[in-house]
Copies of this chain bind each other. A is one copy, B any other.
Amino acid sequence: MFDIELVKKINDWKVSEDGALPICIGCDVGGSGLRVRISSFNDSEKYVDLGHAKAKCTKQLVDVLADLEQKIKQVNDKFVCLGAAIAVAGPIKAGTVILTNWQGEPAVRTLTLKDLPQKIFPKDRSVFLNDLEAGAYGVIAAADKDILEQNFVQLFQDKAPKGPVLANGRTAVLAMGSGLGAALVVRTPLLKNPLVLPTELGHVQIAPNMKEHKNFKQERELIQHISNHYYKGELDPEYEDICSGRGLPLAYQFYHQKKTGELLPVEQIDAGEVAKKAMDGEEDAVDALKAHYIFYLRAAKAIATSLSCESCVLSLDNQVKNHPFVMKIMKELEDEFYEFIRPDWMNGLRVYSQKSILNFNILGTDYMAHAIANKPE
């Protein structure tokens, strides 16, 4: 449960003429629980982050939020929530989501807007956001607040022009974590505000190099290994099959077997361990983590070019954690990125890699909560 002492901060904020206290609520639900930001409707720079509370099923989450509603009432019974947004992992349909990062039967991890406490999540003023969608709105919010640039480093500066992380046209926000997420941020004269479109472009199938390519044989074996694992060796794997928390162990299995002859059961290989071994310089782990990033850059160029993006943002905590490794293999990543069937399309494209932790999801849900609050009736 959240600490009521923190909630009391809302009493410092501006009230309306009728004495009501208008607030907005952003909420980020992860595998182990949730984080909440309450902010003043009148000034989003006035906010309080309530920290983390545990919840691993619908009931626990609703209990935490009901408790929060009570605490806010207790602190100020004239509060009114004008907008709320909740970031979740899982498919959203008509105000309902089945969370994919919780365990158990669908019933115990299904969340519906109308089942949430209605004072803090009024059902006509609340939305679920896909977690990467929230993250991409967080990128927009961070740009607005001028705290975006400091968390990223631009890659390939010898080849790419300079420019803002969030482009004036389109930006691809990628997130390699347990899966490979991809969201598009669109800014166009046709729309007043930037629009985020969540996509499934991390599931595009891999473009393999062809027979005359110098890396043909070795790369082909890896891709076939993955196809054998998932698709009876018949179909081309998707980028996420290598570029994800499940992809790294499978790549390690391949390189470890190649080096030692030993076939490790993939469920016994931990992605975090492989990354650690790679940082320590263990050869087969280095090869696996390198492949993980080489194919990530191949996915990035496919997504950024096919959606006509000016900027491509590699985000997420893993990107921060692996930052030293990424910097070490920069030359290879650059060679991969710029070897493309339409080289002229790469000219104006900028790529950024996250170098420090920032909770984009909370920023994004807060941003969207204010957008809802400001929407004309």
Q: Which residues of A contact B (CB under 8 A)?
A: 186, 190-191, 195, 197-201, 203-213, 223-224, 227-228, 230-238, 302, 305-308, 339-342, 345
Contacts and interface: CB of A to CB of B under 8 A. Distances in A.
A371 to B, nearest CB: 8
B209 A235 contact: yes
A298 to B, nearest CB: 9
Nearest to A223: B210
A207 B224 CA distance: 13
A193 B44 CA distance: 28
B191 A207 contact: no
B195 A213 contact: no
10 contacts: A195-B195, A199-B307, A199-B308, A203-B342, A207-B235, A208-B236, A209-B236, A210-B224, A212-B234, A236-B341
Given A200-B308, A212-B228, 6 more contacts: A195-B195, A201-B307, A210-B223, A212-B232, A213-B235, A238-B341
Contacts of A209: 234-236
Nearest to A206: B207
Closest 4 CB pairs of A and B: A205-B207, A212-B233, A207-B236, A213-B234
A306 B231 contact: no
A195 B227 CA distance: 37
Nearest to A210: B227
A197 B208 contact: no
A171 to B, nearest CB: 13
Count identical subunits in the complex. 2
A191 B191 CA distance: 9
**At the interface, is chain A mostly helix, strand, loop or mixed?**
loop
A210 B234 contact: yes
A234 B339 CA distance: 10
Contacts of A208: 208, 236
A205 B236 CA distance: 12
Contacts of A198: 308
Contact of A191 (B195, B199, B342): B195
A341 to B, nearest CB: 5
Of A232, A233, A302, A341, chain B has the most CB atoms within 10 Å of the CB of A341
A226 B147 CA distance: 47
Given A195-B191, A231-B210, A200 B236 contact: no
A134 to B, nearest CB: 14
A2 B51 CA distance: 69
A237 B211 CA distance: 12
A339 B201 CA distance: 18
Nearest to A307: B199
Contacts of A191: 191, 195
A202 to B, nearest CB: 8
B195 A210 contact: no
B341 A306 contact: no
A197 B232 CA distance: 36
Nearest to A196: B190
Contacts of A340: 235
A345 B200 CA distance: 11
B237 A341 contact: yes
Contacts of A305: 200, 203
A281 to B, nearest CB: 31
Of A224, A307, A342, chain B has the most CB atoms within 10 Å of the CB of A307
A341 B211 contact: no
A208 B345 CA distance: 23
B224 A236 contact: no
A370 to B, nearest CB: 14
A211 B231 CA distance: 11
